Every structure is written in C-alpha cells, then in structure tokens.
Amino acid sequence: MKKKRFTKASEFAQWEYCPRQWYLSKTMGMRINSEASRRGAAYHNAKSEGVKSVQQDQTKFITALVIGGIICIFCLLLH
C-alpha cells in the first residue's frame, strides 16, 4: 500500500517563489543552499528591486489621487 503524499503550505510558497527551484528539489533532491541557488536568489533579488520601485510609485499615485478627490469634494461642498 502506497503512502499518500501531502503537499505542505511551505511547498506552495516555495513553488510560487521559484517553480524551477521547487521542481529541482523535489525531483532531483538538489540542495537549496547550493551555489546555483545562491545565484538564483541574487537574480530574484535584483529583479525585485524594479518591481518594488514601481509598487512604491503606484502607491504614491493612488495616495495623491485619493487626496485630490477628497479636496475636490470638499471644495464642491463649500461652494
């Protein structure tokens, strides 16, 4: 009788972060702390800087839009 294999929540998080890393660790038993994985982590971190910058700009834009809308409504109510 085969044991049922359950997927852990941490495995979903690992797959979401990097599907290739998840695949290699599950199928080939590759260590996550290898030189290649460190290069991969550095690559992901470098790419995430651009995404973080865009997210910050979007947050600033939404904040300015909401404040501008509140000011417009306030001005309309005063007139």
pTM for this entry:
0.47
State mean pLDDT over 6-15: 76
DSSP state of 7: P
Between 49-53, 54-58, 59-63, 66-70, the lowest mean confidence (pLDDT) is in 49-53
Closest of 46, 48, 44, 45 to residue 56, by C-alpha? 48
The pLDDT value recorded for residue 24 is: 75
Amino acid at 38: R
Q: What confidence tens digit (pLDDT) does each residue in 19-33 have?
A: 877 787 777 766 667
pLDDT at 3 over 70: no
State mean pLDDT over 45-68: 92
| Distance from the Cα of residue 35 to its chain's centroid | 23
DSSP state of 30: -
Task: Name residue, tokens 């996550």.
Answer: 32
